[in-house]
Chains A and B, each alone.
Chain A
Amino acid sequence: MRVTDNATARMVLATLQQQQERVYTLQQQVSSGMRINAPSDDPVSAQQALDMKVLIAANDQYSRNIATGNTWLAQMDSSLSDMNNVMVRARELATQMANGIYDASARQSAANEIQGLKDQLISLGNSQIGGKYIFGGFVSDQPPFITTDGVPSPGDVAGDFKGTDDPIKIQVDQQSFVAINYSGGKLIRGDGTSGTTDIVDTLDKLITALNSNDTNNVRSSIVKINSSIQQIQAAQGDVGARENRLEKAGDVLTGTRDYLTKALSGKQDADFIQVLSDLAKQQTAYQATLASTAMFSKISLLDYMR
C-alpha cells in the first residue's frame, strides 16, 4: 500500500489520541477508586451495584430502628424491674400485717406505705423515654395513668388507664416487625379475663383492708400480690425475649451488610494493582509513540538531495 505523509500524520495523531483516552480512563479509575464512573462503563454491573446500594441503605435504616427499639426495651426492662421491687415490698408488708402481732395503728402506717407504693407503681406506669410514655400504647405524648395528685376529669379515678393496648412496631428487616412496647393497662390493670390480676385494684383492696384492720382480707390479698408479681415477671420475660429477637435481627443485619458491601465492592471497585500497572503500560506506550514520531518526522528525501 502506498503510504503518504498525510496518512502517516493522521495515524500518529489517532494513535496518540487513543492512548491519551486510555490514560484518561485509567486515571479516572485511580482517583475515584471505582471501575464504574458512569453507567456506560458497564451498564449491567452499574444497575446491579445501584440495587445493592439500595439494599445496604435499607439495612442501615433497619439497624437504626433496632437501636431505637433497644432503648425502649431497656427502659421497659428497668421500669418492670422497679415495679417488681415495689410489689415485693408490698408483699412483705402484707405478710407482716397479716400477722396478729400488729395493731390497728401499725396497720394504718402500713396502709400509708402501701398507698405510697401504689403511687410509685402508677408513676412507673408513666415511665418515659425521650419524652414518650412507653406503657401507653399509642398514647405516647400524655401520661397513660391518672395519678393520685393529677387533676382528674369528672369520673376519673387514680390508676385509671387512659392509653391503648396497641403494639408499637418497628421494622427490623423486610417483612419483619417487632413490638417495642408493653401495654400498661394489661400489665397493671389486667385485661378483665381470668388469669390476669388488676394490681392497682389489689393494692387498693389491701389499703382498705389495712385501714379497716381487716386481717383476713390482708391475708387474702397476699395471694393476689403473688400473682401480681408473676404477672410483672411474665412481662419481663416477654420484654427479654424481644430484646433477644432484636439482638438476633441486628446480627443478621450485620452479616447481610458485610456480604452486600463485599459484593458491591466486587462490582464497582477498581482493582488498583491492575489499574496502576495498566497505567504504567499506557504511559510507556505513549512515550514510545512520541519518540518514534519525532524520529521519523526528521527523515525526508530533502535531507539527501544536494
Chain B
Amino acid sequence: MAFITGAARGQGRSHAIRLAQEGANIIAVDLCRQIDSVAYPMATPDDLAETVKEVEALDRRIVAREADVRDEAGLKAAFDAGVAELGPVDIVLANAGIAPMALGEEPHQAWQDVIDVNLTGVFNTVETAIPSMIERGQGGAIVLTSSTAGINGIGGASRGGLGYTASKHGVVGLMRSYANTLAPHSIRVNSVHPTGVRTPMVVNEVMQQFLESDPAMGQAMANALPVDMVEPVDISNAILWLVSDDGRYVTGITVPVDAGFTNKK
C-alpha cells in the first residue's frame, strides 16, 4: 500500500501506475487547484480522476482525495480515509512540489509558497504517515522527491528559484534525519534527485522562457548523457527499486536520476 502526494499527473501519476503494475494499492492525493504564485497551470480534478482510472485499469485499488500538503489536518483526513478503505500503508512517496519561477514581475509570495509546499509539505506528509507505520511494526519505505537543485546551487536568483533550491536542499536534511530516527523501526528513508523530467511542471511555456532567459538555470538541463530530459517512469523505476525488497537495506541515501548532470558540474 502506497501513499503518494502530487499524484494527479506527472511523476506522481507515473509512480502510482508503476507501483500498481507491481501490485500495490494506492492512496493518492493532490491539491488539484492553482497556487497564485505558480505561473504554469497546476493539476486539476480531471487529472486526478485520470490517475484513478489508470490504476483501476491495472486491477488495483485506489483512494484519491483532493488535499493540500500544506494543511496537515486535511492531509491526515485524506490519509485516514485511504487507510480505512484499503488498509495500512507501507510506502510513502512525498512527491508533491511546485516550481514558481517566473520572468518579469515576480510574486512576492513565491519564496514562501515553494518552501511551504516543497519542504513543509514533505514534512507534513511523513508526519502524517509514520505513526501508523511505527505502530504496525512492519517497517516500510519512504522516498522524498528532491531534485538536482537539492544537491547543486541551481535554479537562478529569483525568489521562486532560490526557494526551490533551498526547499529541495532542505528535503535532504529531512531525509537524513528521518533515516536515522526511523531506522530502529526498519523504516527506510531515501531521496531521489531528478534532472529535468518531461512533465507539465517543466514542459510549459513559462518554464521554457525562464530557462532560456537565465543561462545558469538553462544549464540545469544540460545533462552528460545525450538526452535533454528524462521521463517520469525513470524516476518511478528508481523509486520502485528503493521501496521494494531489492532495496531492503538501503536507507539515508540520495539517488540522482539525472543523466549525469550532478557529476558533470
A and B are partners in one complex rather than unrelated chains? no
Chain A residues with a Cβ under 8 A of chain B: none
Chain B residues with a Cβ under 8 A of chain A: none
